[in-house]
């Protein structure tokens, strides 16, 4: 039977935190708003509308979210194109290995499609049969839609999918989708079926064991 791994992108496969922080800080400062790194970290991985609402409350009108969000994402992509992106430990090993073992793979991210495409190119890592972004869904994580869309595009039933995530919202989205999950890093919490500090720490049978169960 088919089986699939659905990868979150930022913080799971690549270390893009600094580029996102710079892009948010510069964009907000240009609009006269100062944000702290603590504010940024508390919302990292969420959609722009949720981030700006958390920072600004009622001031985050739809027009404001679109204008500031678009400016921030343009700046983020400029930084990725200029500086490249850094794969996190274990990411390349697992994507390549799973590809040789006939696992279907998709990136399922809350980021805008252009960000996903630019980062995917910068990764220089093949093996993904689908890219699913915020532009492909109506609701962000912890809603399960992004993972369900990815599973459909891979033609793999949810119970045969393993989600890899670095955030609590992503782990909850996997649970709601009826999928097993691997949580990477401190931000993923302890709700995942398997939790590790790094992808490099995963047991050799981690993915096989989750699907067998």
Whether residue 93 is found in the same domain as residue 152: yes
Q: How many domains does the chain divide into? A: 2
61, two tokens:
């009108």
Q: What value, to the nearest 5°, has the Cα angle with vertex 75 and ends 70 and 81?
A: 125
Whether residue 43 is found in the same domain as residue 97: no
The domain of 70 spans: 17-83
More confident residue, 190 or 152: 152
- For position 213, what pLDDT does the model report? 63
Whether residue 54 is found in the same domain as residue 92: no
Whether residue 76 is found in the same domain as residue 117: no
Whether residue 208 is found in the same domain as residue 136: yes
Q: Which CATH number do you get for residue 150?
A: 3.40.50.1000
pLDDT tens digits for range 86-132: 999 999 999 999 999 999 999 999 888 999 999 999 999 989 999 99
Whether residue 115 is found in the same domain as residue 187: yes
Q: Which residue among 83, 117, 141 closes a domain?
A: 83
- For position 46, what pLDDT does the model report? 76
Whether residue 163 is found in the same domain as residue 117: yes
Whether residue 176 is found in the same domain as residue 79: no
The answer to whether 163 and 147 are in contact (CB under 8 A) is yes
Calculate the average pLDDT of the chain: 94
Nearest 10 degrees: Cα torsion 73, 131, 139, 32: -10
Whether residue 66 is found in the same domain as residue 150: no
* Mean local confidence (pLDDT), 187-196: 90
How many Å is the Cα radius of gyration of the chain? 17
Q: Which residue among 33, 54, 83 closes a domain?
A: 83
- In this model, does residue 26 exceed pLDDT 90? yes
Q: Which residue among 83, 103, 130 closes a domain?
A: 83
* Mean local confidence (pLDDT), 39-43: 88
% of the chain with per-residue pLDDT over 90? 85
- In this model, does residue 12 exceed pLDDT 90? yes
* Mean local confidence (pLDDT), 47-59: 90
Whether residue 52 is found in the same domain as residue 120: no
Q: How many residues does the chain have?
A: 213
Q: Which CATH number do you get for residue 41?
A: 1.10.150
Q: Indicate the pTM of the whole model.
A: 0.89
Confidence of residue 148 (pLDDT cuts 50, 70, 90): very high
- In this model, does residue 45 exceed pLDDT 80? no
Confidence of residue 197 (pLDDT cuts 50, 70, 90): very high
Number of helices (H) and strands (E) in the chain: give both, helices first.
Answer: 9, 8
Active-site residues, by number, are 8, 10
Calculate the alpha carbon distances from 162 to 71, 74, 99, 193, 204 in Å. 34, 31, 14, 10, 15
Whether residue 51 is found in the same domain as residue 127: no
Whether residue 42 is found in the same domain as residue 9: no
């Amino acid at each position: 039977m088919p089986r699939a791994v659905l990868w979150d992108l930022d913080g799971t496969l690549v270390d893009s935190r600094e580029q996102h922080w710079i892009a948010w800080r510069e964009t907000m400062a240009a609009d006269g708003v100062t944000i702290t790194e603590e504010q940024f970290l508390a919302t990292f991985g969420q959609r722009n509308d949720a981030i700006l609402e958390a920072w600004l409350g009622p001031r985050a009108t739809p027009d404001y979210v679109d204008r500031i969000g678009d400016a921030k994402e343009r700046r983020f992509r400029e930084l990725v194109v200029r500086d490249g992106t850094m794969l996190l430990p274990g990411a390349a090993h697992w994507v390549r290995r799973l590809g040789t073992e006939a696992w279907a793979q998709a990136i399922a991210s809350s980021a805008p499609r252009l960000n996903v495409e630019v980062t995917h190119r910068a990764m220089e890592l093949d093996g993904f049969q689908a890219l699913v972004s915020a532009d492909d869904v109506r609701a962000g994580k912890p809603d399960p839609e992004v993972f369900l869309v990815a599973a459909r595009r891979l033609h793999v039933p949810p119970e045969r999918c393993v989600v890899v995530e670095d955030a609590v919202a992503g782990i909850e989205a996997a649970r709601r989708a009826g999928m097993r999950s691997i949580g990477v890093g401190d931000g993923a919490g302890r709700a995942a079926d398997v939790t590790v500090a790094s992808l490099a720490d995963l047991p050799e049978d981690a993915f096989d064991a989750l699907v067998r169960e």
